[in-house]
Structure 1
Amino acid sequence: MKTKIALFLLALLVVGCTSSRPVVRTTTKPKVTTKKQPVTQNKSVTKPVTKSGESKNNTSTHTSTPKTDTQVSLEATSNVKTYAEEIQMYVDNFKEIAKNNMKTHGIPASITLAQGILESGAGKGKLAQSANNHFGIKCHTGWTGESVKHDDDAAQECFRKYEHPSESYRDHSLFLTSRTRYSNLFKLDKGDYESWAKGLKAAGYATDVKYPDKLIGLIERFELYKYDNEVLSRDFKPVKKEVILAQGADYYTIQQGDTLYSLSRRFNLTVDDLKKLNNMSDNAISIGQQIKIK
């Protein structure tokens, strides 16, 4: 009897030991699983970051920038950068007004359009947008119309405001014809836009030393002289300027597509050499501008 009882207890002990082994294995597996789960969750959390819309937007912005930069741009006196297509649209919008003013007041349409482009940034400048003022005309004594304040040579100066850009064009013509300091301009040939551009600077219309070159560059690049031709019934076409000799030093007239880098290669100079020769603080050049090359 004692032997049977001993055998029974031994059997229970063996069964207990064998049944405990799976329990140990079962508790071990969840531990491994719980270690892996946080890793899987972290990966899923990072996916929204890698798929962020912001990163995609930033990429698309950078890829589109070079396309814009390849366009030839002009820096207006209104500190607004304008492009060839915008300038041509501006010309198409205001060429008839400029021609009519030429017939009435004797100011070359090419000059009026070039000044409008330069002063207003082809209509994109702040004064053009807020006051329809395309020529930067200040209030001056006697102005009784509406006005706006705008920072220019001094802070918050008074500038004329118009209901429509055409009024600004008309006032530009009246402004030049009614002031004695511009009287010498009207002794010039109406088709001589180069003399008019230089005459405006000499009379004090602008302080920018490159102002005449900028006007001439715009007129020749966008063929604004054609509108003078239409009014004067002529077929004038400017002669392409090449390297010319002036006052013992070689000068070059900037053409479409020129850059300081391309000119440095052409004339065996460095960009810094060209800037020093011409007292330039930056790389900005304009069509029609004359620069020293020796």
Structure 2
Amino acid sequence: MFKKTLLLLILIGFSACHTTQTVVRTTKKVPSKTTRTATRIPRKPTPSRPVAATSQPKAASSSGQQGQEVIVSTSKTVVYTEVVNDYVNQFKDIAMGNMKSYGIPASIILAQGILESGAGKGDLAVSANNHFGIKCHADWTGESVRHDDDSDQECFRKYKDPAESYRDHALFLTTRSRYSGLFKLPKGDYEAWARGLRAAGYATDPRYPEKLISYIERYNLHQYDSQVLGTEFVPFEGQPVKVSNAGTSAAVAGTYEVQKGDTLYSISKKFSLTVDQLKQKNNLTDNALSIGQRLVVQ
């Protein structure tokens, strides 16, 4: 009986093995993604707005075209050619008067005035009528102002008007022994005078002579030396800035251009001055006037 039962179990087991299905799992093959290479398409450049070019100083021209002038002395001043022209026009007669009276070349006086005062627009010229950067020194008893220069808050002379500054400049050079060598130089040799001023210690800037000479030659300031000395004036080619001598009596503020028939007396009355005041403002030693001469009246 036992054997029959065992045999029956074996048969059942064998049958079950053959009827069981084998399950096969299939995985759907997913196509791989194609790798794309990114291509950059250059964008068309966006039109840029035009940028104004920084203006550069222009060379002086005979047509009166304005060029920028940067003047650095006791202060940094930016002016234009016309401002320098007006400055020369305003003070050329005083400069020539000082040349006659004191022996200092008019070209040197004007060049120093332009450089030291920023053509009348510098800090010291505006606040103190100081056109030559003259410091107080021990012998100065007049008014003064404080201004940064070689040292902080140095003492500089203050004047009631520019004419007084021009007169003091002449006295400053003629009364100090260290400048005595200048007056042995030819009056028409502005280059020697420019170098002599630096050698005598007027300024600490090593390029001081070159700056003065540059102003003289660019603005033809030596023409005023020629007028005083009675020599022929030869303008520099390529440096044709022309200081106009034409115009009405109101061409430059604070000055008057002498007209035909004018006298010191008539001009003084016109501007509520005395004759002595008018002569003092313009460093005049006599009553002689010439048509076209420009006088300081304020």
TM > 0.5 fold call: yes
1:126 aligned to 2:123? yes
Query: Per the alignment, do residues 239 and 95 of structure 1 end up closer, same or farther by CA in structure 2, a change over 3 Å counting?
Result: closer
Paired residues, number: 182
1:73 aligned to 2:60? no
The runs of 5 or more residues in structure 2 that have no matched partner are 1-48, 59-66, 241-298
Correspondent of 1:156 among 137, 153, 157 = 153
Question: Retained in 1: the 8 A contact 2:217–2:236?
Answer: no
Cα deviation 1:166-212 (Å, max 9, x = unaligned): 00000000000011110000000011100000000110111111111
Map 1:1-294 → 2, pairs under 5 A: 70=58, 71-77=67-73, 78-237=75-234
Distance 1:161 1:68 in 2: 34
Shift of 1:236: 3.7
Shift of 1:83: 2.0
Shift of 1:67: 6.2
Amino acid across the alignment from 2:139: G
Shift of 1:89: 0.5
SS at match of 1:205: coil
Structure of larger gyration radius: 2
TM-score by length of 1: 0.58
TM-score by length of 2: 0.57
Amino acid across the alignment from 2:93: E
Shift of 1:237: 2.5
What RMSD over aligned residues (CA atoms) do the two structures have, in Å?
2.2
Cα deviation 1:7-46 (Å, max 9, x = unaligned): xxxxxxxxxxxxxxxxxxxxxxxxxxxxxxxxxxxxxxxx
Cα deviation 1:30-86 (Å, max 9, x = unaligned): xxxxxxxxxxxxxxxxxxxxxxxxxxxxx9xx86x8568552424231311222111
The runs of 5 or more residues in structure 1 that have no matched partner are 1-58, 241-254, 258-294
Distance 2:56 2:160 in 1: 32
Question: Retained in 2: the 8 A contact 1:150–1:158?
Answer: yes
Cα deviation 1:251-293 (Å, max 9, x = unaligned): xxxx769xxxxxxxxxxxxxxxxxxxxxxxxxxxxxxxxxxxx
Match of 2:45 in 1: none
Amino acid across the alignment from 1:73: E
Greater relative contact order (Cα < 8 A, sep 6+): 2
Cα deviation 1:205-263 (Å, max 9, x = unaligned): 111111111101100111100000111011142777xxxxxxxxxxxxxx769xxxxxx
Shift of 1:160: 0.5
Distance 2:57 2:216 in 1: 23
Shift of 1:156: 1.0
Distance 2:209 2:234 in 1: 19
